[in-house]
Amino acid sequence: MHAGARTKMPKGLELLTLGIDLGGSKILTAIVNPRGEILSSDESITPATKGREAVIQSILNSTHHVLKKASVAISEIYAIGVGVAGISNPETGILFTSPNLPELRDVPLRDIMQERLGKKTFVINDANAAVLGEFYFGAAQGAHNFIYITLSTGIGGGIVIDGKIYTGAIGAAGEVGHMTIDDNGPICNCGNRGCWETLASGTALAREAKHRIKEGFRTSILEYAEGDVEKVTAQVIHSAAKHGDSLAKELIAQTGYYIGVGLANLINIFNPELIVIGGGLSNIGDMLLKPAFKTAGERAYKEAFQAVRFASAGLGRNSGVLGAAAFALKEVRKLHCK
């Protein structure tokens, strides 16, 4: 499974796994070989408000679709891995709660999938699935102590310690986006105040720009948002910054600063060898990340900062399905070795 130990098998006898990335807005499904190559994939909308059976039916439809596309029978699938947005217990495969899938509460997802498809199934948190994707096939290959963060509308993450994903007591570890950065900061979706994602995410960046525009600040940002303040997004602000808008540049640098404060905390707590950064917001690149690394360097322990390497996530949107598939393969092999 690991990069150095590739399975050599004639075509058709490979251990194929089915990876599923179940998110609040979309379901990504893929058939994956042990080298992390995707044989076929499918994307569908998550019927999040239509109830549990509708979501499960969508997963099954998507599964049949990828099997057909790759001309693979379900009997040829070795195991199934499901990465799901929310808190689930990897041991029991029960999804407790998912903020983006409110209809799915206390669902025995693993058992349902096993029953419907007749294949061993393993359930993991979606951020942890993405971490494993990067670990086995992406930017974190060969690293033993690393942290993965996704800078997006929120901030997600995962922690690998001594080559193993750290899931905590109930599978809720790695919620890096909800560490408090400013105790008087903006209210977060989680109910707390001043969480990292309220200050350093794409949503935070857009909120600050909207605020300044409404105050009457002179900026060209609106021109990139069809003149509608509600259409101001991180992407819009980035476009304005690339064309020299000083407010856009200032706000991106400020977001970078807050990213750096959180990075310094993570570096001091975990002393990672590597921090992998993914998510749409990180595509802004140097304008955002240079101030982030500068701030992290100023705030973290010098030796710990010097020991850390930063890398961009390598798998993009496929990290979750690839990681879920890899997780399933690893877990099912463990069972066979017992």
Comparing CB distances to Zn ion, the nearer of 133 and 177 is: 177
Which residues touch 18 (CB under 8 Å, ≥6 apart)? Answer: 29, 30, 31, 32, 63, 66, 77, 79, 80, 81, 119, 325, 328
Distances in Å between the Cα of 56 and the Cα atoms of 38, 53, 103, 115 are 22, 5, 11, 12
* Count of residues in contact with Zn ion, rule CB under 5 A: 5
Distance CA 336, CA 322 (A): 21
Query: Residue 269 Cβ, how far from Zn ion at the closest point, in Å?
Result: 17
Q: Which of 101, 195, 204, 326 binds Zn ion (CB under 5 A)?
A: 195
201 in contact with Zn ion (CB under 5 A): no
Q: Which of 82, 188, 232, 326 binds Zn ion (CB under 5 A)?
A: 188
Task: Report which of 78, 83, 155, 181 is spatially closest to residue 124, judged by C-alpha positions.
Answer: 83
Of 42-50, 104-112, 184-192, 239-247, the window that binds Zn ion (rule: CB under 5 A) is: 184-192
Mark residues 108-147: x for contact with Zn ion by CB under 5 A, - for none.
----------------------------------------
> Kind of pairing, strands 94-97 and 87-89?
antiparallel
Comparing CB distances to Zn ion, the nearer of 4 and 191 is: 191
Q: Which of 141, 192, 239, 271 binds Zn ion (CB under 5 A)?
A: 192
Distances in Å between the Cα of 26 and the Cα atoms of 97, 109, 114, 338 are 17, 17, 21, 36
Comparing CB distances to Zn ion, the nearer of 93 and 154 is: 154
Comparing CB distances to Zn ion, the nearer of 177 and 260 is: 177
Comparing CB distances to Zn ion, the nearer of 144 and 193 is: 193
Query: Residue 197 Cβ, how far from Zn ion at the closest point, in Å?
Result: 6
Mark residues 279-318: x for contact with Zn ion by CB under 5 A, - for none.
----------------------------------------
Comparing CB distances to Zn ion, the nearer of 178 and 210 is: 178
Q: Which of 190, 253, 307, 311 binds Zn ion (CB under 5 A)?
A: 190
Query: Residue 192 Cβ, how far from Zn ion at the closest point, in Å?
Result: 5
Task: Report which of 33, 114, 109 is spatially closest to residue 76, judged by C-alpha positions.
Answer: 33
Which residues touch 132 (CB under 8 Å, ≥6 apart)? Answer: 124, 165, 322, 323, 324, 326, 327
Q: Which of 110, 119, 120, 178 binds Zn ion (CB under 5 A)?
A: 178
DSSP string, 235-259: HHHHHHHHTT-HHHHHHHHHHHHHH
**Residues listed for the chain:** 338
Residue 109 in tokens = 């997802």
Burial class (CB in 10 A: 0-12, 13-18, 19+), 168: exposed
Comparing CB distances to Zn ion, the nearer of 192 and 235 is: 192
Q: Residue 72 is which amino acid? A: V
Judged by the rule CB under 5 A, the positions of this chain that interact with Zn ion are: 178, 188, 190, 192, 195
